[in-house]
């Protein structure tokens, strides 16, 4: 094993040295041109994809050269257990990846931390570690693709992406990445055998391979089916987003409408005697609209940034430090440190209660955490606390001035504050949300002569199978008393089967894929009374969706019966899996098990025919 380990290291010694040198130089150059550590998530994903492509290319070349029959026999047919041969190859490859990716990345972070005034946290060292683990995951996936009998095994790469590409704490994601490496190593070991066309021999190997493949196939089928259906709609001119006029009464029409148009639609069926007067006033007062777009907040020690985590003055850049929970300033021209910006403004040592998001509304700058809103002063040195929520209430939108009040949407209610106060805004009135905040698409507010009219459009998750949507209109009198004055049901923009596609394709796998959202905190704003992000488990499924789920399960079982034939190995287990898990299980079956050969029908011999005559 040691000799094989050393042999693999020597084999790729020169390419590894060249790659590590080039990688180090490119990292230093990139960090001279931009602050890579503080860039937004999209930039980090591009960098991650490049490293993963390198890891996969390494595996394709390494095992591709071993695939030749003579070399494969030379590799495996030696006086060593199979696991020791695999361990020697994998450990050598892991060491090469650590030298080429891990050490240059960690060194670059350390240099920035020690020699510059940039903000460098512990999470950035975790991000460099995660980058190395992702490269190793890509190497394992590439190895499995080469060693597997079917090139469709490339879908195995989907599972780590589903679990690990989340805006969660690195303290959670790095151990999960280590677990993914261990699982993929076990899967690749199952394919590391003399007969590469044969499925894994042991039950544990089959389960460890089949379950991740089924989850990956489920996601691929869901994504591909949804994409093809929508492309077909676009080409036929029937897609709601591409139609000249959106379907009447649906979510798309409501989101495209002006504030006055949406409010008039909400009052269309109102029986309140004052509704006619409100309809005349609404076009004259120019209602304000708020989109509850702050549905996710940064999580402490997250490995990347959701949006730009910095804000700027004329000569300074303020980057948030997750270690100190304050902003750290740097002079952009000189590269020198400018001190700290805490929860009380410039020079403050007070830490923020949570990582804030930078938002702008009505030409005012805000730093917003899940329960606090701070207004940045005109000179940017002062920071004034404006809103502080309690309990489980969280902000869904930045404070927005409409008329004489500043309005704020939370996951519990609509809040109106009196503007102009020096410190915390005094509350004028509030209106409870009639439905879940996760379904809220927009809020429109008009301040009329006799009070305030607000309409809540709860249609945000219609296309995801959230159920029936409603638009609720509420009138608030000068005393702050709210009363519902209108309600209308929203129509569906898409067919029901499309809205529930992720469920009927496989109810069991739908529940499994939603588990990370349930268990991993990624800063999502929850509905009132909700303890965890369990929205995927709460939707009500109509009868046609249940029939579709049953139909695809039966078709998958029949396809498995046809694929395996009457004498397939573990035939009953695969058919039961297809009944339970649907088309994704059949796709995993087609990847792992060869199709049963059909024996030709026996032909009667001429002598036997003559004798019988």
If pLDDT is split at 50, 70 and 90, which confidence band does 597 have?
Answer: low
pLDDT in tens, 257-274: 999 999 999 998 888 899
Among 198, 220, 248, identify where a domain stops. 198
The Cα 322–Cα 195 span in angstroms is 51
Asked whether residue 285 falls in the same domain as residue 300, the answer is: no
Quote the pLDDT of residue 531: 87
If pLDDT is split at 50, 70 and 90, which confidence band does 73 have?
Answer: low
- Rounded to an integer, the average pLDDT of 480-501 is 92
Asked whether residue 150 falls in the same domain as residue 212, the answer is: no
Asked whether residue 431 falls in the same domain as residue 288, the answer is: yes
The total number of structural domains in the chain stands at 4
Asked whether residue 356 falls in the same domain as residue 487, the answer is: no
Asked whether residue 184 falls in the same domain as residue 108, the answer is: yes
Is residue 613 one of the residues assigned to a domain?
no
Is residue 43 one of the residues assigned to a domain?
yes
Say if residues 532 and 608 touch (Cβ distance below 8 Å): no
Which residues form the domain of 552? 201-239+500-597
Residues 6+ apart with CB under 8 A from 476: 416, 429, 431, 451, 452, 453, 454, 482
Asked whether residue 9 falls in the same domain as residue 80, the answer is: yes
Asked whether residue 473 falls in the same domain as residue 545, the answer is: no
Is residue 50 one of the residues assigned to a domain?
yes
What secondary structure does DSSP assign to 375-402, as a single string? EEPTTSS-EEEEEE--TT--BSS--EEE
Quote the pLDDT of residue 147: 83
Average pLDDT of the chain, as a whole number: 88
Asked whether residue 259 falls in the same domain as residue 213, the answer is: no
Asked whether residue 417 falls in the same domain as residue 303, the answer is: no
Asked whether residue 279 falls in the same domain as residue 335, the answer is: no
SS3 string, 499-550, reads HCHHHHCCHHHHHHHCHHHHHCCCCECCCCCCCCCCHHHCCCCCHHHHHHHH
Is residue 16 one of the residues assigned to a domain?
yes
Q: Three-class SS of residue 250?
A: strand
pLDDT in tens, 274-290: 999 999 999 998 899 99
If pLDDT is split at 50, 70 and 90, which confidence band does 198 have?
Answer: low
Decide if pLDDT at 603 tops 60.
no
Is residue 42 one of the residues assigned to a domain?
yes
If pLDDT is split at 50, 70 and 90, which confidence band does 569 have?
Answer: low
Asked whether residue 174 falls in the same domain as residue 285, the answer is: no
Among 340, 356, 390, identify where a domain stops. 390
Asked whether residue 351 falls in the same domain as residue 281, the answer is: no
Quote the pLDDT of residue 613: 46
Whole-number percent of the chain with pLDDT over 70: 93
If pLDDT is split at 50, 70 and 90, which confidence band does 126 have?
Answer: very high
Is residue 18 one of the residues assigned to a domain?
yes
If pLDDT is split at 50, 70 and 90, which confidence band does 3 have?
Answer: confident
Among 373, 390, 407, identify where a domain stops. 390
Q: Three-class SS of residue 576?
A: helix
The Cα 132–Cα 231 span in angstroms is 37
Is residue 611 one of the residues assigned to a domain?
no
Quote the pLDDT of residue 68: 62
Q: How far is CA 272 from the centre of its chain?
A: 44
Say if residues 169 and 519 touch (Cβ distance below 8 Å): no
pTM for this one? 0.87
Q: Three-class SS of residue 52?
A: helix
Quote the pLDDT of residue 356: 93
Is residue 365 one of the residues assigned to a domain?
yes
């Amino acid at each position: 094993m040691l000799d094989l380990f050393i042999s693999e290291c020597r084999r790729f010694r020169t390419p590894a040295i060249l790659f590590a040198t080039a990688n180090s130089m490119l990292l230093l150059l990139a960090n001279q041109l931009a602050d890579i550590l503080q860039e937004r998530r999209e930039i980090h994903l591009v960098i991650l994809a490049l490293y993963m492509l390198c890891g996969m290319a390494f595996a394709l070349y390494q095992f591709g050269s071993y695939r030749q029959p003579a070399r494969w026999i030379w590799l495996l047919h030696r006086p060593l257990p199979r696991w020791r041969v695999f361990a020697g190859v994998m450990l050598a490859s892991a060491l090469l990846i650590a030298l080429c990716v891990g050490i240059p990345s960690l060194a670059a972070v350390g240099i920035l931390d020690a020699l510059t005034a940039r903000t460098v946290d512990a999470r950035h060292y975790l991000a460099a570690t995660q980058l190395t683990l992702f490269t190793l995951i890509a190497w394992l996936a590439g190895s499995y693709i080469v060693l597997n009998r079917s090139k469709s095994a490339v879908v195995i790469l989907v599972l780590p992406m589903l679990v690990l590409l989340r805006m969660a704490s690195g303290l959670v994601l790095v151990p999960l990445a280590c677990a993914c490496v261990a699982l993929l190593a076990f899967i690749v070991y199952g394919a590391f055998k003399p007969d590469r066309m044969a499925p894994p021999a042991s039950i544990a190997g089959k389960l460890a391979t089949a379950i991740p493949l089924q989850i990956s196939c489920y996601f691929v089928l869901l994504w591909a089916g949804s994409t093809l259906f929508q492309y077909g709609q676009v080409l036929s001119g029937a897609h709601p987003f591409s139609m000249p006029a959106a379907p009447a009464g649906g979510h798309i029409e409501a989101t495209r409408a002006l504030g006055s148009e949406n409010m008039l639609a909400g009052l269309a069926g109102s029986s309140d005697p004052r509704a006619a007067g409100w309809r005349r006033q609404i076009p004259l007062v120019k209602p304000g609209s708020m989109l509850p777009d702050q549905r996710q907040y940064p999580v402490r020690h997250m490995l990347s940034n959701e949006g730009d985590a910095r804000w700027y003055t004329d000569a300074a850049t303020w980057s948030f430090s997750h270690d100190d929970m304050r902003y750290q300033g740097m002079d952009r021209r000189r590269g020198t440190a400018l001190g700290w910006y805490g929860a009380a403004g410039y020079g403050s040592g007070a830490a923020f209660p949570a990582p804030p998001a930078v938002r702008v509304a009505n030409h005012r700058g805000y730093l917003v955490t899940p329960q606090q809103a701070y207004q940045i002063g005109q000179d940017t040195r002062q920071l004034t606390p404006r809103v502080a929520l309690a309990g489980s209430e969280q902000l869904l939108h930045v404070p927005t001035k409409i008329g004489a009040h500043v309005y704020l949407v939370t996951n519990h209610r609509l809040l109106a504050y009196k503007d102009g106060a020096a410190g915390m805004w005094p509350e004028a009135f509030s209106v409870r949300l009639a439905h879940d905040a996760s379904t809220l698409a927009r809020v429109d507010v008009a301040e009329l002569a006799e009070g305030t009219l607000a309409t809540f459009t709860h249609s945000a998750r219609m296309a995801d199978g959230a159920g029936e949507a409603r638009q609720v209109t509420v009138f608030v009198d000068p005393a702050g008393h709210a009363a519902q004055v209108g309600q209308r049901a929203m129509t569906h923009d898409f067919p029901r089967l499309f809205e529930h596609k992720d469920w009927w394709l496989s109810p069991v796998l739908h529940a499994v894929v939603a588990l990370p959202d349930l268990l991993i905190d990624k800063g999502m704003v929850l509905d009132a009374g909700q303890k965890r992000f369990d929205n995927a488990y709460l939707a009500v499924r109509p009868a046609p969706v249940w029939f579709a789920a049953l139909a695809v399960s039966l078709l998958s079982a029949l396809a498995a019966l046809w694929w395996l034939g009457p004498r397939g190995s573990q035939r009953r287990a695969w058919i039961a899996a297809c009944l339970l898990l649907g088309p994704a299980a059949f796709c995993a079956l087609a990847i792992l098990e060869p199709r049963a050969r059909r024996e030709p029908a026996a032909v009667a011999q001429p002598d036997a025919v003559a004798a019988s005559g």
